[in-house]
Amino acid sequence: MKLGMRLRELRRAAGLTLEELAEVSGVSSRAISDMERGYSRMPQPRTLAALASALKVSDQERRRLEEDVRALRRGGTAARPGLCEPPRAVADFTGRADELAVVRRAGADGGRGGPVPVVLVHGQAGVGKTTLALRATEALRGDYPGGCLYVDLRGVDPAPPSAGDIAVRLLRALEVPSRAIAASDEERCAQVRAVLRERRCLLVLDNAADEAQLRPLLPGAGAGLVLVTCRRVLSGLEGVRRLALAPLTPEESAALLRAVADQAALPSAAGDVAEVSRLCGHLPLALRIAGTRLSTRSGWSVRHLVDRLSGEDRRLAALRTGDVSVGAAFALSHAQLSVAARRVFRRLAHLPGPDFSAPVVVLVTDDDLVDTVDVLDELVELGLLQPRGADRYQLHDLLRLFAGERLRGEEPEGERAAVRLDMARRLLEITVTAGRWFEPGFGAPPATWAGPVPLATAGEAAYWLRSEAENWLGALRMAAAAGEHRRVVETAEALHWFSDTAVAWRGWYEVYGLSRASAAELGDRQLEVTHLNYYAWAACACARRFDEGLAAALAARDMAVADGNHKEEAWALQYASDSVKLAGRPGEALELARQALRPADLADDHDGYVHLLVRIGYAQDSLGRYAEALATFRQALRELTERPVSAHQGEAARARIFVYSAHALGLLGRHAEALEQAEAALATTTARDTPALTCRLHLARGLALARLGDHRAARAELTRVVELTEEVPLYTRVYSDEATDILASLDG
């Protein structure tokens, strides 16, 4: 009689439930249940002795139990040693604590009457799927007395084994006699499921090919755990827990390098270790190869390894050691792509940005957008592309290099250059069209617009400009390198008005650096001084290079004066004023702004004239001259009614006047008036949509409400200032500090 059946009969004869026997014997009810059902193949002698004593069995019955155990140890139905034994796990496993916890939780869910938990670990080549599975197996195998079985499904082979072939291996490991193994694949898989239903086993199916290979092997109800690894997402597989592996964090990457190579553990090498991690894209396979190369070359330093990996054209070649190679791992996935997907994949190397949307991919393929999305899904499924949100994708740095190798190997240089330049031109065409939504006199695209990007509203245009900024900026670089200076200047000009809505982006410094150089190449003095002024603004306001911004602004002023260009002279003085103001010299800023009034008036630059008055009032406010500032703001409001200021600029000026007036009134103790001005500002779109202005508006309201005794409303306003500062910290930190001080005074 089998051990499990004998124990069950003895327990029932004693009139005990599982829980009662557990309480008397000190053995857990789960362990007793596993023994009775055959999940625990070889109980320890002390466990058996405790149960025999609790059941009060006779000496003869005790000897029968001991004989059953000895029979199991001699062979019995235990799994044959050596079959389906997992490979050796790495000793220097690093990180993945959260992922291992997911696997442990899934294992704990097994044996509760439902289906056997199946955890699918998926991700790109080299991300450490098998390493994680083996680490989990090592940690959990003691919880599975029915055995631990490992099979490499060879999913990236040209002809992976079928589910039936794998079933034969598993049945042999599970000690099913050869003559009892069914003839058909379907029946063999059913046998595997039946055996696993009755045993508490840990089954590791590594490197799965697809759903068809895997699905027939998965057991139904039972107490085991199935751990699957695959490069594919296997989206057609039902009822599994998917665990997507990403590259390591920078801290985990550094820890792995230190564990593999002694040189990386030196404190002096910390900076170089971080650089190696970055160059490896934090991909575990690449990091392990790099660390192994370092550890086997005693004369190398980490800096030497950085130098070896720095060149993009030889990085993949450097990430090879012995029979292991990052490029070879990628090639196995690449070989599974369709012809269409291979073409799209290699052309992704043309895209300059780190992430992109499907319409941008169309610019290098000329394929239908719907077909392109299908191909991108294929790349995602194989782990060659990572999704980023609902409509964006990202190519890992090393996969981008691999795509570049495929591109150079499969398309002639002339074709590559033509596709790249055409992509740049089309990207910039979209950028100009989107930018002109914000430029007075333009707005919506013409009725003939047939671009791949929806630009029906200003919101859609702004979303595209922000989300694809790195791609169109890369295209601008390409156009400049190709000598297409007119296109560069046109693009930068079209973005001028939009840039005011995204001042925090440091990329404007490069945009207007490129357009300044292109304008000079064109030999057009008007363009040159205009874009020199734009560059002065970007250097100061965006890049925070105040001295550089001031120097550019003064050079533009001198150029404008020489040409009699009053409008650009006024703008140059405004940008010079901004530079010294942000550098902490408000007195100089006030004087420069005042100097700009006359040329702006001479140029009939009514928009600029009103904004200059606002600047002057703001400078007076910064100097603590609040009454003077209020008088200047009132003058600016009068000018708004008397001059033909454009609607957009008029609203922007009015919003600033109201907000700045509220601030000055509050500091003068005129809190009721301050609230009135703040309410007027709230009615303007500019005050609601400009982060720094919005912060100042809520600060003015919070201060006024606090002084008027409405502390609850004041706290809400001041808390909003702090929240906004966290979102857009560049120009708003000073407002957060003020708000925090006022909040502290209220709490005090």
Cα angle 431-432-438, degrees, rounded to a multiple of 5: 100
Cα angle 352-358-359, degrees, rounded to a multiple of 5: 85
Would you say residue 79 has pLDDT above 50?
no
Structure confidence by residue, pLDDT tens digits, 343-360: 999 999 999 999 999 999
Q: Which of 183, 188, 154 is nearest to 171 (CA)?
A: 188
Indicate the range of 58-72, 224-238, 393-407, 676-690 predicted with least confidence. Answer: 58-72
The residue count for the chain: 748
pLDDT interval class at 741 (50, 70, 90): confident
The predicted model scores a pTM of: 0.79
Would you say residue 324 has pLDDT above 80?
yes
- Cα torsion 456, 461, 467, 468: sign: positive
Helix (H, G, I), strand (E, B) or coil at 269: helix
Calculate mean pLDDT across residues 70-74. Answer: 58
pLDDT at 331: 95
Calculate mean pLDDT across residues 539-562. Answer: 96
Over the chain, what is the mean pLDDT? 89
Would you say residue 643 has pLDDT above 60?
yes
Calculate mean pLDDT across residues 355-384. Answer: 94
Q: How many CB atoms lie within 10 A of CB 161?
A: 18
pLDDT interval class at 71 (50, 70, 90): low
What is 3-74's CATH number?
Answer: 1.10.260.40
Each as own residue / partner, the long-range contacts of residues 449-457 (CB below 8 Å, 24 or more positions apart, any chain) are 451/426, 452/359, 452/362, 452/363, 452/369, 453/359, 455/430
User: What span, in angstroms and rounded, lies between the C-alpha atoms of 175 and 80?
Assistant: 6
Would you say residue 1 has pLDDT above 50?
no
User: 97-244: what fold?
Assistant: Rossmann fold (3.40.50)
More confidently predicted of 495 and 685:
495
Most confident of 446-450, 541-545, 555-559: 555-559
Indicate the range of 292-301, 313-322, 385-394, 691-700 predicted with least confidence. Answer: 691-700
Would you say residue 38 has pLDDT above 60?
yes
pLDDT at 721: 80
Would you say residue 142 has pLDDT above 90?
no
Calculate mean pLDDT across residues 506-528. Answer: 96
Q: How many CB atoms lie within 10 A of CB 311?
A: 11
Would you say residue 606 has pLDDT above 70?
yes
Identify whether the C-beta of residue 80 lies closer than 8 Å to the C-beta of residue 175.
yes
pLDDT at 112: 67
Q: Which of 716, 738, 735 is nearest to 725 (CA)?
A: 735
The 3-state secondary structure of 679-724 reads: HHHHCCHHHHHCHHHHHHHHHHHHHHHHHCCCHHHHHHHHHHHHHH
Any idea what DSSP says for residue 540?
A: I
C-alpha gyration radius of the chain: 35
More confidently predicted of 60 and 510:
510
CATH architecture of 330-411: Orthogonal Bundle (1.10)
pLDDT interval class at 113 (50, 70, 90): low
Any idea what DSSP says for residue 245?
A: -
pLDDT at 35: 76
Per residue in 624-639, is it b (16+ CB within 10 Å) or e — as a string?
A: ebbebbbebbeebbeb
Structure confidence by residue, pLDDT tens digits, 169-219: 999 998 888 888 999 999 999 999 998 888 889 999 999 999 999 999 999
Each as own residue / partner, the long-range contacts of residues 635-641 (CB below 8 Å, 24 or more positions apart, any chain) are 636/610, 639/606, 639/609, 639/610, 639/613, 640/610
pLDDT at 730: 46
Identify whether the C-beta of residue 555 lies closer than 8 Å to the C-beta of residue 573.
no
pLDDT interval class at 76 (50, 70, 90): very low
pLDDT at 163: 95
Would you say residue 477 has pLDDT above 90?
yes
pLDDT at 62: 80
Domain residue spans of the chain: 3-74, 97-244, 250-322, 330-411, 620-688, 690-748
Q: Quote the tokens at residue 481.
A: 């390198």
The 3-state secondary structure of 79-112 reads: CCCCCCCCCCCCCCCCCCHHHHHHHHHHHHCCCC
Would you say residue 80 has pLDDT above 60?
no
Structure confidence by residue, pLDDT tens digits, 125-140: 999 999 999 999 999 9
pLDDT at 75: 46
pLDDT at 647: 85
Helix (H, G, I), strand (E, B) or coil at 488: helix
